[in-house]
Amino acid sequence: MGGRSWDDITEGLPSTFGFPIAVNPRDSDMIWTLPLNGDAQGRYPPDARAAVWKSGDGGRTWQDKRDGLPQEDCFFTVLRQAMATDRQNSTGVYFGTNTGSVFASTDAGETWGEIARHLPTILSVETLEHA
């Protein structure tokens, strides 16, 4: 439809505010987002516990994926261009934070690891495919 109509897919998420969203390049029903509190509470993950929320059905249902992400005193923000995917068989998902960390998942968002830290604010994350 080329963006002519939109559906609200936020039911089941802890917040309707947040910047990044990524779509699996090989399965458009698989999407990831990182909800944040809104401006009134501060732009950081709800309860100061990081989670990437994953849907395998186009946003009809969501599951929080926390394994490997900070679970206390997490006050980072992820900007809208700071999440990306790759085209590997088990899609990789990557995001960068305003506190200078980059997190990666090599299993389609099931588990996470911090692959860089102490960088300046991450404004954008891109992936590069090689032959």
CB atoms under 10 Å from CB of 7, counted, come to: 8
Residue 85 φ then ψ, to 5°: -125, 165
DSSP state string for 27-38: EEEEEEE--B--
φ and ψ at residue 55, rounded to 5 degrees: -125, 135
Q: What is the pLDDT along the chain (131 residues), one digit of tens a residue?
A: 567 888 888 898 999 888 899 999 999 999 999 999 987 788 999 999 999 999 999 999 999 999 999 999 999 999 999 999 999 988 999 999 999 999 999 999 999 999 999 999 999 999 987 66
pTM exceeding 0.75: yes
